[in-house]
Chain A
Amino acid sequence: MTTETTSQERMNIVIVGHVDHGKSTLLGRLYADTGTLPEGKIEKIQAICRQQGKEFEYAFLFDAFLEEQQQGITIDTARTFFTWGNRQYIIIDAPGHKEFLKNMVSGAARAEAALLIIDALEGVRDQSKRHGLLLSMLGVKQVTVIVNKMDLVNYREDTFQAIEKEYRQFLTQLNVIPQYIIPASAKQGVNITKVSPETPWYTGPSVLDSLAHFHLEAARNEKALRFPLQDVYKFDARRILVGRITAGQLKIGDRLVFSPTNKSASVRSIEAFNIDSPPTQATAGQSVGITLDEQIFVERGHIATHEDARPLVSTRIRANLFWLGNRPLETRRTYTLRLATREVPCEIVAIHRIVDATNLDDRHTQLTVLRNEVADITLRTKAPLAFDLYADFETTGRFVLVDHYDVAGGGIITELVPDEQEDFRTEARERDSAWVTGDVGAEDRAERYGHRAAVILLTGPDTTAKGFLARKLETVLVAEGRHAYLLAAENLQRGLDADLQDSRPEEMVRRFGEVARLLTDTGSLVITTTNAFQQATKDIVQTVQTLVNPTPVITIHMTKDQAGPQPDVDLIFAGPEDFDACTHQIVETLKRKGILAELSGSQPAFQFSI
């Protein structure tokens, strides 16, 4: 390429399609005919082919592994570079064999546009359709279809039209409109870099020219702000919140609210290294660092937005998911869900149906999702998740599931499924956004008191001495100089709850949660038990958690049953005899979780959140 201008745009394009329909050949031909290959590369491959007694194939240029050349297939996605016009293209050659679908997905997930290849002789095959479906799920909306090997059907227009019609219909069901459908022969170089006389009936562009018609993603910075936190740094005096803005923009002075915690503060500065004047705003796509005017508790996984356009929050979502794992996806097994920078355990609640890629109308139900299948599912996360619908925001509307050590599936969120906490969550959000604060922040209190606020909730059946342990814990903590308070739910009954009959247990828990919210705002450690409530423990814990959010709720379960299944809590005491030891263990747990600072001398030394 003889151009001295610097390329101003970069674009990732993936080449997909059924095995042996000619993806690697097209790529090789594109490079050879535009003079993009390094000197001697073709000659080198030709020499190897002669040596092995094989016919030269353009595919060998990029099928780098010995095994790939021996079998004549692409095993893994290759990234190649190619500059044309004013653009630098990264062309990703994805494997077409069903066996290597996870590699195809890895390639396509990076792409902004796709070339989908169909063999004119073989017509539309399984992977032609499966790849089409996956492209639409991966967010690749620009597709040009290439009907390859037209030389094998004597460049017949009717053969081309039949394939065009069939595939166009299929794409329509996925809401994908192909930009072009191009008849071509990669092997013979027909319609690759220029339109050739073999197809006089074709009036569209060549493959090379069609690339220029793909456009870069429309400005994501016109959308509402989405800034998922990646980390919080304290290398020097600055406490810098870093992350990549996935939509919208932010500027100095903007009021940000963090979901799902509902904490808010304003942007004080935008930090950068080796730059003359520090930036005053940042936009989608940028990896940035900001400082806030208040030291609020934030951590990786929280999503910062402006106050008027927050993400959704729930523990239940409905999604379309493709599964790549070796083990089938099953209900009632725990997976790790990762959405932007958030990581949370989850469970599949329901598999509604399996989507058949080769026949989109044909959906059937199944108890598991097998490798390479696409399914419509509902899942439940262990903690509230902030997210968007995929139709509204790409990056915060999709997730992956991790099984064992590997990313094993990817999903796009189609629906928020309301959970039991929906009303309480709305109440907490509205209450928090109107909350009036003094000049003393949570960090000031934490430094002064030697601990962060928390709720310590003792659960378990009757007569397990929950109340006894709660009193003991309060005594020990206060003796250490901590601000701990035993909040017995009984104490609300004749006062705050005097208007309630026993028939409204849910409202009693709500009021209790609001009182706990007030006390934790004072920076206190609130100790309590489930003794006085008439609700299932699980519901009590969830409601309190929602109402005091983001203050941590530490659950401690007391039981007489030493065997049996145990609930998922922070600590379990099965038939304890030594309550001093129990108290000590709770204190150690609180330290490990960063709630209690270590005591050093007379004054507890404490650093907030980092």
Chain B
Amino acid sequence: MKHIRQLEDQSVYILREAYKNFDNLAMLWSMGKDSTVLLWLARKAFFGHVPFPLLHVDTSYKIPEMIEYRDRLAREWRLNLVVGQNKKALAEGMNHEKGRVACCTALKTEGLKLLLAEKGYTGVILGVRSDEDATRAKERYFSPRDKNNEWDFRDQPPELWDQYKITFPPGTHIRIHPLLDWTEINIWEYIKLENIPFLDNLYLDQGTGQRYRSLGCAPCTSPIQSTAKNVDEVLIELRNSHVAERAGRAQDEGRGMEQLRKDGYM
């Protein structure tokens, strides 16, 4: 498991750089496997403490088990949980039937923007990975967003050795990506190695021949056919799979992701 420890060392280094250099720092937690691994890495980096708030952008369409799991871990691990919601869009009846990209933009991108604006965070830690989709493959570990939260992927700052972008003009913020070099398989290898509590009743087959490979909102995330009942079986399945991880995520279709991410999506 040497390669997993190497990934862990790198991510811990990035988290500590973020904590040292950003006064108003927060971490996004969606309760999915990636951001939960990220949260675990923070506990590693800070010796059992999580010295910044965890943000959950609640679309109100999440699978109920996810909320129960969130509140339980927040209690057990003494997390400073901050939940944000685009209440205005919800009041106006936003849902996926009005268009998946429109719904994601309103409830997730806008929801996040509202939360960032309200709290004035200058550094936001996210669990995105390069192998999730082609635009994330081009991300930096420390990636600037302008005043409108937009990502200028045409002009990204150089990233040399372990020297990251930690200075930026007022009004802008930095997205920090400690998991960029992890693959989906690495995430499961680490969950197994560290015995991290995850949403097993969603990520594992409960006897129905189905499990979720990636978690999002209930209406737009579908389970895959799978009989994997434990982490070892998940790993075997993934090593033999040729299907993209986010195949069950509707907003990724066409050019959806490039536009979403340019506008400030995770």
Cβ-defined partner of A395 (8 Å) among B138, B161, B235: B161
Interface residues of B in 180-234 (CB under 8 A from A): 180-181, 183, 189, 194
Q: Which of A37, A66, A287 contacts B45 (CB 8 A)?
A: A287
Number of interface residues of B (CB under 8 A): 60
Whether the pair B244, A109 counts as a contact (CB closer than 8 A) is no
Q: Indicate if the CB atoms of A400 and B169 lie closer than 8 Å.
A: no
Check B65 for interface membership: any CB of A closer than 8 A.
Answer: no
Which B residue's beta carbon lies closest to that of A325? B158
Set of chain B residues within 8 Å of A8, measured between Cβ atoms: 2-3
A316-355 contacts to B, CB under 8 A, are 324, 338, 340
Asked whether B138 lies within 8 Å of A78 as measured between CB atoms, the reply is yes
> What residues of chain A lie closer than 8 Å to B10, measured between beta carbons?
287
Q: In the assembled complex, which residues on chain B have CB atoms less than 8 Å from the CB atom of A289?
A: 47
- B69 surroundings in chain A (CB, below 8 A): none
Interface pair B16/A407, CB less than 8 Å apart: no
Measured CB to CB, the nearest residue on chain A to B46 is A235
Task: Say yes or no: A79-B160 contact (C-beta < 8 A), given A3-B239, A37-B242, A66-B258.
Answer: no
Residues of A within 8 A of B148 (CB): none
Residue in A9, A103, A395 whose CB lies within 8 Å of B156: A103
Q: Which of A414-433 contact B (CB under 8 A)?
A: none
Smallest Cβ-Cβ distance to A404: which chain B residue = B167
Docked-complex contact B236 and A4, CB < 8 angstroms? yes
Interface residues in A, total, Cβ within 8 A? 64
Would you list which residues of chain B between 23 and 67 have a CB under 8 Å from chain A?
A: 43-49, 51
Contacts of B163 in A (CB 8 A): 338, 400, 407
Say whether A62 faces chain B, with CB atoms less than 8 Å apart: yes
Whether A402 contacts B9 in the complex (CB less than 8 A), given A38-B242, A274-B44, A287-B16, comes out as: no
Can you list, as one digit per residue, whether each of A60-79 has a CB less than 8 Å from chain B (1) or not (0)? 00101111000000011111
A9 touching B16 by the CB < 8 A rule? no
* B residues less than 8 Å from A76 (CB atoms): 138, 153-154, 156
A6 touches B189 (CB 8 A): yes
A334 to chain B, nearest CB (A): 14
Also in contact, A38 and B243, with CB within 8 A (given A62-B134, A406-B158): yes
Q: Residue on A with the closest CB to B20?
A: A231
Q: A7-B3, A62-B137 are in contact. Are A244 and B47 (CB under 8 A)?
A: no
Nearest CB on B from A591, distance (A): 20
In the assembled complex, the Cα of A1 lies from the Cα of B194 at a distance in Å of 26
* Chain A min CB distance to B50 (Å): 10
Q: Closest approach, in angstroms, between the C-beta of A547 and any C-beta of chain B?
A: 30
Which residues of A are in contact with B by a Cβ distance under 8 Å? 1-4, 6-10, 35, 37-39, 41, 62, 64-67, 75-81, 88, 90, 102-103, 105-106, 109, 138, 230-231, 233, 235-236, 238, 240, 242, 244, 271-274, 285-287, 289, 300, 324, 338, 340, 395, 398, 400, 402, 405-408, 410
Can you spell out 6 A-B residue pairs with CB atoms less than 8 angstroms apart? Answer: A6-B1, A64-B137, A78-B134, A81-B183, A105-B158, A406-B165
Q: Please give 9 more A-B residue pairs, beta carbons under 8 A apart, in addition to A41-B244, A235-B48.
A: A77-B138, A79-B181, A90-B181, A138-B160, A230-B16, A230-B20, A287-B9, A395-B161, A400-B161
